[in-house]
């Protein structure tokens, strides 16, 4: 039964690390850009959009569709960076232990 006790300690340590990681993700800010920096989107580590910056040169009625597309592209880039950052932090928490396919933490 010693192995079970050791395993429970590891689970408790991992849970503590997960809680720490969750707090870090709230503070994490990740940016994505599109149009050579004309549009920038900032996300939290949990995927919440925290801000959008649009270059003044794009604020013309005839540029509306382009701006909309650039916002989507910048968001996609920021989202991909955020997912990679979360995956990297999860490796630290789980000690490199692979998760089953389809299991995505902490979401």
Number of domains in the chain: 1
Token code pair at residue 79:
């989202």
Collect all residues with Cβ–Cβ distance below 8 Å to 14 and sequence separation of at least 6. 93, 94, 95
Which CATH number covers residue 64?
3.30.1310.10
Cα distance between residue 29 and residue 21, in whole Å: 14
Report which listed range, 19-28, 40-49, 70-79, is most confident: 70-79
- Is residue 23 in some structural domain? no
Residue range of the domain that includes 46: 29-93
- Is residue 82 in some structural domain? yes
Give per-residue pLDDT as tens, 75-103.
999 999 999 988 888 787 776 555 556 65
pLDDT band at 107 (very low <50, low <70, confident <90, very high): very low
SS3 103: coil
- Is residue 5 in some structural domain? no
> Based on C-alpha coordinates, what's the Rg of the chain?
19
pLDDT band at 54 (very low <50, low <70, confident <90, very high): very high
pLDDT over 80 at 42, yes or no: yes
């Amino acid at each position: 039964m010693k192995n079970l006790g050791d395993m429970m300690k590891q689970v408790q340590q991992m849970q503590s690390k997960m809680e720490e990681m969750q707090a870090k993700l709230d503070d994490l800010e990740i940016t994505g850009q599109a149009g050579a920096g004309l549009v920038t989107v900032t996300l939290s580590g949990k995927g919440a959009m925290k801000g959008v910056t649009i270059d003044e040169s794009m604020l013309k009625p005839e540029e509306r569709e382009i701006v909309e597309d650039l916002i989507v592209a910048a968001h996609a880039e920021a989202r991909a960076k955020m997912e990679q950052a979360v995956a990297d932090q999860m490796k630290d928490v789980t000690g490199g232990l692979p998760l089953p396919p389809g299991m995505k933490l902490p979401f």
